[in-house]
Structure 1
């Protein structure tokens, strides 16, 4: 979508961090009508004060992305306030660090329900409306660098972010016919309040197997503080949306690591070139006029 001014954007996890950076850029610099949805009531109050003196169209609402009924109600509220959503940004996310063998089912459910089902709930709620209004649109799903790399103590987070990556790729293949673009935002370090996400953990997920390690928290905090400013990341995201990039991954410092990772993948495939079954499959494909498999 090249022309965004006057269009409606819906952002989950929009009251702080990456989501708030996106809300500020889209509302103040682009002139979009922006709906900020978040589960942090105190942050919503702070954002309301920030935008109070701004000449922008912003609407704030409390939303737990794990609540499907609330999502449907939110869509109706948005339509009453601003009209149909053209840009959906599924950004809400959580993370708790700890050894995978210590993870409780509540730990797993919290990550899956917010990071993955929260994205699915947003898509299920707004995608049919976007298709019905026929004006096209754009969907941004916030994954992470952890959608490409697994690191110790972040298995639950990576599981969900790998899934968001796969979902985004699948949507990209299927939605172009509706003139709906799809981008997967893959942040590395961003200077945000992400360490506060534990405050949003609902009572139904309260039984955690993880023990908070102050040394780990301090190390993560130091890592985040050296990262992107949320406003700068938001401007990169806007640029990627306008180009309809599949990946919005503005971290060239990881090129070498990704090249090494993908070399391992290619090398593992090459291990099977002399396998008799490979020759049989290729012969059968040739006889059927199929040639080399193509993913299209």
Structure 2
């Protein structure tokens, strides 16, 4: 029997794309599901898959991830329906591209609001439920390889994923002592329609600095996604990483060259001199506190000096 059998999982944006692949993999691992959605057609298509596979129908939760009150209601709804919540997967996001030097406040507010704010909203709403539950529990935050790799056409998207990475890596130190696992997931190209987010831009964020959408150009870019990994394969790899209690889950293998360059560039950027003993001691204490947290000790600020 799977260690996840009977665990209750909430997945934001869980009815299409990678979110649906994760939902399918979670279901195959024996989890009971609550899936948030906005698009009724995507929800109906997801429902057909669960019915065709003879799986338990998920609890469908209509949710705008920018809506904090909606998140609180969703958390209460899931707990009331299932009796407990064990797994939170913050997956919902938008992929929007454009010249960051031309970006407007609306561009920043929408992309950061969904990709980072949605994760923060999920954590605030659902962590009390996970803390109140018992047994195997886990927080999964979906970022992107953009959390490590920057580029000229996805500056705000990249910033949002860097933010999710930093939040998740830090949160792990707080959750492990509570017996709750925490994983940062950084997928790369997935066979989805994530590229077309700009077509679904909400009216309240309409004042973009990126200019009018070039439909033909964006659709051409979307053809690259056909080479992507199957969402269910990615979801299956995520479940495997959760089972191994990995803090960092990479789903794609093709980035060794990039990480070597990051490593080499980072070491080359360090000044070539010796730090004074008192600064070395501060950093030793920081490292020791991090190791102690992952070993199960609750860390306070007094542990850092």
The residue aligned with 2:246 is 245
Q: How far apart, CA to CA, are the structure 1 residues paired with 2:200 and 2:85?
A: 26
Segments of 5+ residues of structure 1 without an aligned counterpart are none
- Summarize the alignment of residues 45-56 of structure 1 with structure 2, pairs less than 5 Å apart: 45-56=44-55
**Further displaced range: 95-104 or 132-141:** 132-141
Q: TM-score, normalised by structure 1?
A: 0.90
> 1:185-214 CA deviation, whole Å, 9 max, x = no partner?
101100001123235432211211223234
The structural deviation recorded for 1:173 is 1.1
Q: Secondary structure at the match of 1:253?
A: coil
TM-score (norm 2): 0.88
Shift of 1:134: 3.7
Give the paired residue count: 285
Taking structure 1 as reference, are residues 134 and 7 closer, same or farther at Cα in structure 2, changes over 3 Å only?
Answer: closer
Is 1:168 the counterpart of 2:163? The answer is no
Pair 1:31-2:34 in alignment: no
Describe the shift of the 1:69–1:199 C-alpha distance in structure 2 as closer, same or farther (beyond 3 A).
Answer: farther
2:232 paired with 1:222: no
Are the counterparts in 2 of residues 181 and 244 from structure 1 also a CA contact under 8 Å?
yes
Displaced runs of 4+ in structure 1, greater than 4 A?
289-294
Tell me, yes or no, if the aligned pair for 2:196 and 2:222 is still in contact at 8 Å.
no
Shift of residue 215 of structure 1? 5.6
Q: Deviations over 1:155-205 (max 9, x none)?
A: 010000000000110011111011111111101100001123235432211
C-alpha distance after superposition, 1:66-115 (max 9, x if no partner): 10101111111112222211111000000211111221111110011100
Q: Match for residue 90 of structure 1?
A: 90
Q: Distance in 1 between matches of 2:78 and 2:200?
A: 23
The residue number in structure 1 matching 2:59 is 59
Q: Which runs of 5+ in 2 are unaligned?
A: 291-305
Match of 1:73 in 2: 73
1:117 to partner: Cα distance: 0.7
Name 1:236's counterpart in structure 2: 237
